Amino acid sequence: MSKPFKPFVIILFFLGIVLYSPYVYAGGIGLVFQGVARIVGSVLQVPIHLVSRTAQDPFPIGLVTGTLEGAFYLLAEAVAGTGQIAAGAAPYAKYLVFLA
């Protein structure tokens, strides 16, 4: 491995440990992290479905169906991620009284 590549691998390794630990996703704040990950990942749904549908169907039909299917999954994942963020933040809503 080259020298600039080693710090990148080390950072990814430690981020993987922190983000994918079982205790992080246990509940509460873990649901918030999962919701944010779903919303950020939902942006990739359109290109993923566009490429997969273009490979399966003929050229113009694959583009249209892939775009529509990707847009549907983008919205579905964004709504599901928002729901997970709300479910994870709900136990902490009682502390908003102290902020007002």
| pLDDT score at 59 | 86
Cα 72 from Cα 50, distance rounded (Å): 12
| pLDDT score at 17 | 60
Tell how far CA 29 is from the center of its chain. Answer: 15
Cα 9 from Cα 16, distance rounded (Å): 10
Show me where the domains of the chain are located. 47-87
**Type of residue found at 67:** T
| pLDDT score at 37 | 85
Mean pLDDT by 10 residues, the chain (100 residues): 70 64 65 86 91 91 94 96 90 81
pTM exceeds 0.85 for this model: no
Contacting residues for 53 by C-beta, under 8 A, at least 6 apart: 62, 63, 65, 66, 69
